[in-house]
Amino acid sequence: MLRRLSEKERAAREAGFLELARVQFRRMFDAEHQPGLRTFTEREDRACEAGDALSRALMEVHLREDELAQPLEVHACTKCGRPTVAKGEDDEPPERGVATRRGPVQFARPERTCAVCRRALFPPRR
């Protein structure tokens, strides 16, 4: 579930996305980027790359703002049911790479560990 963004946060996310869209548009149409765009396939590839970059950017923002990205107070181990503890509570959650249909995206999720099973759980499930 996506956490509710303030108007200021939403505007900042939108501005970042629109700037990326502007960069991708210029890659497609500005004169200095035209060499190498002769065939239909080259043009289609460039357009698909632009669309994929925008899709990945949307996914990264959406994943970053997901409520699951926030640490949980109490969480049971999925194997033994005992309580887990946050791993490195003072540290930033580790960045993870996930393969999507549009290419890899990066996002951070907190890790929790079970002292009994010695398992790392990522992402925590509610």
Q: Is the pLDDT of residue 63 over 70?
A: yes
The Cα–Cα gap between 27 and 19 comes to 12
- Element containing residue 113 per DSSP (H, E): strand 112-114
Q: In terms of residue numbers, what domain contains 58?
A: 1-65
The Cα–Cα gap between 16 and 4 comes to 18
Residues 6+ apart with CB under 8 A from 44: none
* Tens-place pLDDT, residues 64-114: 887 766 655 667 788 888 888 777 656 677 787 888 899 999 887 777 788
Record the pTM. 0.70
Same-domain status, 60 and 9: yes
Same-domain status, 79 and 104: yes
Residues 6+ apart with CB under 8 A from 26: 33
The Cα–Cα gap between 36 and 42 comes to 7
Same-domain status, 75 and 61: no
Average pLDDT over residues 47-58: 96
Report the domain count for the chain: 2
DSSP string, 65-98: TBGGGSPPS--B-TTT--B-EETTTTSPPPEEEE
